[in-house]
Homo-oligomer: A and B are copies of this chain.
Amino acid sequence: MMNELVMEKIDPELLADEVIMTMADSFKALGDPTRLRIMALLFNGERTVGDLADHLSVSQSAVSHQLRLLRNLDIVRHRKDGREVYYALADDHIRDIYTRTLEHILID
């Protein structure tokens, strides 16, 4: 659900450069097929790096690099268990954005 208190007051035209840059970075993070696939795999719950790599057509290294990027932008979170690291989607904003865009694509 949207935070009306925040959004009712903000005119996008007046956004500071820094905010625009951060938004751009976030969208850019979602703008890559490998990263979208990773997110899709995490949609139903957490997975280890190796599990993700097994389901993708890129190296473990590539997956790890991309996970770091997603982590730095708070798009995914991680927890360590022994020598494995489990990744998951960070919050519901991410699910929403993903879903809305999928809608935008599928409808029309």
Contact = CB atoms under 8 A, between A and B. Distances in A.
Interface string A33-44: 100110111011
B22 A105 contact: yes
A62 interface: no
Identify whether the interface residues of A are mostly helix, strand, loop, or mixed: helix
How many identical subunits does the complex contain? 2
A53 interface: no
Contacts of A3: 103, 107
A17 B34 CA distance: 10
Interface of A: 2-3, 6-7, 10-13, 15, 17, 19-33, 36-37, 39-41, 43-44, 74, 91, 93-94, 96-108
